[in-house]
Amino acid sequence: MQSVTRGYPGHIFEPIVTASGGLLGFELVRRSYKVENRSDSAGYEYNLSPEDKIKVFFNQVTLACINANIFTDNDFLLSVNIDYDIACHIVSNTALCHVLEQHRFIRLEVDQNFPEFTQEAPRKIIRSLSAFCTLWLDNFGAGNTSLSLVMNESFEYIKIDESFFWQHQGTQSFRKTIEHLTPYCQGVIVKGVENAQHVEYLTGSNIHAMQGVLWSSYNQEELIQSFFSNS
């Protein structure tokens, strides 16, 4: 397999595991943020300036492009979380749009606090993004997310917020939420899965995949050696 030639030490490839035990792909997150916060899919460091967040995103896309063969050869997807500042930069940068169009395994994971989510009028930035890159919705059940949003926009996968999962795990209302979301996407991914009991709670709930420290804590070095081994 192609190896990572640069960029790995600053990032973690967080596994996204299907309900059947396969590997859907990874979310690429900053190592420093993960270590400090100890939570899965932490998203963006809101204390960063817009310029710094854009630099982080550029580094993530560069790392994805360097290792493109790993994803295309194995049919893995790679999600990268973005907020409104990054989204606006992407749609105004023709070269970056072209890079995302060329690397079809990259998924843009839209932050739950995206300002356009509160609008009923056409969401211009979201629509522009979806024209050249497949979108995922992050942290449903938190921020500005809603069923109305899901019904009116195109998201390939929808991620359930970990706090929402922890609060409603094993309940009928949680299963109903999954049922309501499923017709409007290709599948629901549940975040915050930390142990075997969480997996048991999700049995039979018609989810597509799971993500959390149950897999993040599994040796990152073994993961890197399997798919992203340094040479």
Is the sign of the CA dihedral 206, 211, 212, 215 positive or negative?
positive
Q: What is the pLDDT of residue 46?
A: 58
- Predicted confidence (pLDDT) per residue in 64-104, tens digit: 999 999 899 999 999 999 999 999 999 999 999 999 999 99
Query: What gap in Å lies between CA 200 and CA 213, rounded to an integer?
Result: 15
11-18 and 23-30 as β-strands: parallel, antiparallel, unpaired?
antiparallel
Per-domain residue ranges of the chain: 8-227
What pTM was computed for the model?
0.87
User: In CATH, which of 3.40.1000.10, 3.30.2270.10, 3.30.750.210, 3.20.20.450 is domain 8-227?
Assistant: 3.20.20.450
Residue 104 and residue 110 in contact, taking contact as beta carbons nearer than 8 Å = no
Q: What is the pLDDT of residue 47?
A: 78
| Burial degree of 109 (CB within 10 A; 0-12, 13-18, 19+) | buried
Nearest to 224 by CA among 58, 100, 63, 44: 63
